[in-house]
Amino acid sequence: MTKHIKILEHALSSIVRRRFKNLAIIVAFSFTVSALATILFFTDSLKKEAENILTSAPDLIVQRTKGGRHDLIPVEYAEKIKKIPGVGEVTPRYWGYYYDAFVKANYTLTGLMSKESTLDFVHGRLPGASGEAAIGAGVADIRNSEVDGELILINSRNMGVLYEVVGVFSTDSVLLTNDLVVLSNDDIIDFFDLPAGQATDIAVRVYNSSEVQTVASKVKRLFPDTRPITKSELVRTYDMVFNWRSGMMIAVFSGAVIAFCIMAWDKATGISAEEKQEIGILKAIGWDTSDVLALKFWEGVIIALTSFFLGVIAGFVHVFFFDSSILAPIIKGWSVLFPDFRLTPHINLYQLFVMGFLIITPYVVSTIIPAWKTAITDPDTVMRG
């Protein structure tokens, strides 16, 4: 143990003697790790937030398709779906998207599914009559509107409609409600000029969660023109979207990864004359080849671990303290009203371990190989160059 402690002390002193070279390596190494860690932290946290939000989603959403695209669904489908064993509440939903040309932002307009809601407000209430609206914090901010204020939207007949704002959603629900405008069902039907007896989709609650897929199959057999979407499929879709975007960002940063690999390979192809002379002297004064390899191993481990932890810490701070200001617009999406929110720290230890293994191991190996080639050479030959 004393021997290895002395070797570790010598490794630290060697790193300090070549501090400028090693500092450049640590900076490049840390930048590469930081970029990858930022992407992993941000993506995992977004997926966790989406998963938490979808816990309150319906067990099953039934959409009608026509020509392979989402179409309006007859309300009468809801009555037949409700007769399926195991099905609880069945609710036709009225909603749609609205582009506000005035502020160049997209809103989600939805009808009120029930008088009760688990969503919190800064103040105000849900709309209780025609002409009333509850809006998200992003809509309130971009349209300069508050409770008892006004919201003017252009309906599908190209006519301006005035709504009284009776509620503003709190920032606690910003990820879900930032671009949301809640109206009464009658107002939604009138705004989008929906045909009588037609809804956007149907939300279905299933008593037993293990029977959701069975109910979905029965709905599909009952109505071949529908597309039942389970909650688990929604979660998988979000996972796929965020994984695709994070993969795209990793591809963008692949240049930095390649540059680091080139640097590691260059280090593996040889060591400087000064390092060779140092190894020759150590061999001449009685160090074994195993001692030299242990010395170089500790040098590589110290530099690699220092760089790795600095990169991981930098990525953590960037994501959870500075809201990932550099990568957020790409990973989140294109919406003008995508909210600013604090992510709950979520770290995937398995991914960190894999990333550390794939980055640290090649660097340490590239440090040991040239040292081994020099250590097995006659010390006199090495010192003479």
Q: Is beta strand 105-111 parallel, antiparallel or unpaired with respect to 180-183?
A: parallel
Q: 121 CB contacts (<8 Å, ≥6 apart)?
A: 134, 167, 168, 169, 170
Q: Which two tokens stand for residue 168?
A: 């503003």
Quick one: pLDDT at residue 221? 94
- Distances 286 to 155, 208, 289, 364, 373 between C-alpha atoms, Å: 88, 74, 10, 24, 17
pLDDT for the residue 216 = 93
- Residue 334's pLDDT is what? 47
Q: Look at residue 165 in the predicted model and tell me its pLDDT.
A: 94
Task: Tell me which residues of the chain have a pLDDT lower than 50.
Answer: 115-118, 334, 336
Which amino acid, 271? I
Tokens of 154: 């252009």
- The 3-state secondary structure of 275-295, one letter per residue: HHHHHHHHHHCCCCHHHHHHH
Nearest CA-CA partner of 265 in 365, 356, 357, 374: 365
Phi-psi region of 196 (alpha: psi -120 to 50; beta: other; left: phi over 0): beta
Beta strands in the chain (DSSP E): 60-66, 69-71, 73-74, 87-93, 95-100, 105-111, 121-124, 132-135, 150-154, 160-169, 180-183, 198-199, 201-206, 226-230
- Tell me the C-alpha distance between 238 and 34, whole Å: 24
Contact 117, 180 (CB under 8 A): no
Q: What's the predicted TM-score (pTM) here?
A: 0.66
Taking each helix axis from N to C end, the angle separating 19-53 and 231-252, rounded to the nearest 10 degrees, works out to 160
Confirm if 78 and 65 have CB atoms less than 8 A apart. Answer: no
DSSP-based three-state secondary structure for 102: coil
For 134-178, write each residue's pLDDT tens digit.
998 888 888 888 888 999 999 999 999 999 999 998 755 566 778
With 0-12 / 13-18 / 19 or more C-beta atoms within 10 angstroms meaning exposed / middle / buried, residue 58 is buried
